[in-house]
Amino acid sequence: MFIFAHPDDIEFGTAGTAARWVQGGAEVVYVLLTSGDVGIADTALTRQEVTDIREKEQLAAAQTIGVQHVVFLREPDGMLVNSLDLRRKLVREIRRFRPEVVVCGDPTVWFVDSTYVNHPDHRAAAAAAIDSVFPAAGQPHVFEELAEEGLTAHKVRKLYIEGWGGGDTWVDISGTIDLKIAALRCHLSQMRDWDPEPMLRQWSAEAAKGKEMAYAETFRVITLVSDEDFAKQNGAIIEEA
């Protein structure tokens, strides 16, 4: 499960990993907290019209990767808050889909370089995702009213936090970077006449520097259920990407 704030956030950052996991047979879910409804600076369009455009683009991007499930929570774009109500909504989706891994942003990243301030929605989405994964989703007495919907507690095995080029885990996306580029191009309202390919290739090559791969996405990985315990519970053989 990939939990991010806006349509195109996944495509900019982690879609290469999503594509690799899909190719490996994983079922992948995208959860978008907003629909990017203030993301087109055209006053001739209503927020509902912008929502329709951006959700359609996100669905096309997900289809490009092979992702079958896309959830839009439709929180207000630009005003996202890590509230208990938002966490309840996320816990509902975690308990419904029961993912082994949740991928999200890093809530501690404010500044990436001297030209970019990380969007407050990105930070709020990342914090809400982490707080929903641990401890809320796995504790049956937290949001216990969800049990009335048949949604029981679920412990996520691993949390992959987007590394912004750093981190402790490198996912080789050399075989899926073309899909990542194609998926980002689906966001026509954001790309307009700009070709994102050179930038994505540069970022991914820099992330892979010093590793035996051409292109990479990086993560900080938090293991919440040990590989040994997970294997015992599921009779599984653990193979990392």
The residue among 194, 123, 195 whose CA lies nearest residue 161 is 123
What number is the average pLDDT over the span 110-128?
94
> Under a CB-based contact definition with an 8 Å cutoff, are residues 1 and 97 in contact?
yes
Q: What mean pLDDT comes out for the span 16-27?
A: 98
Per-residue pLDDT at 205: 97
Give CA–CA dist 130/136, Å, rounded. Answer: 9
Helices 84-97 and 120-133 meet at what angle, rounded to 10? Answer: 60
Assign domain 2-234 one CATH number from 3.40.50.10320, 3.40.50.970, 3.90.1200.10, 3.50.50.60.
3.40.50.10320
pLDDT at residue 89, as a whole number: 98
Residue type for 32, please? L
Indicate the pLDDT class of residue 237, thresholds 50, 70 and 90.
low
Mean pLDDT of 27-46: 96
Which pairing describes strands 111-113 and 116-117: parallel, antiparallel, or unpaired? antiparallel
pLDDT at 112: 83
Task: Write the secondary structure of the chain as one string of H (helix), E (strand) and C (coil).
Answer: CEEECCCCHHHHHCHHHHHHHHHCCCCCEEEEEECCCCCCCCCCCCHHHHHHHHHHHHHHHHHHHCCCEEEEEEECCCCCCCCHHHHHHHHHHHHHHCCCEEEECCCCCCEEECCEECCHHHHHHHHHHHHHHCCHHHCCCCCHHHHHHCCCCCCCCEEEEECCCCCCEEEECCCCHHHHHHHHHCCHHHHCCCCCHHHHHHHHHHHCCCCCCCCEEEEEEEECCCHHHHHHHHCCCCCCC
> What was the pLDDT predicted at 236?
57
Report pLDDT digits (tens) over 195-219. Answer: 999 999 999 999 999 999 999 999 9
Q: Which residues contact 224 (CB under 8 A, 6 or more apart)?
A: 133, 134, 138, 155, 156, 157, 158, 159
Spatial distance between the Cα atoms of 57 and 73, rounded to a whole number of angstroms = 16
Domain boundaries, the chain: 2-234
Side chain identity at residue 129, one-letter code: A
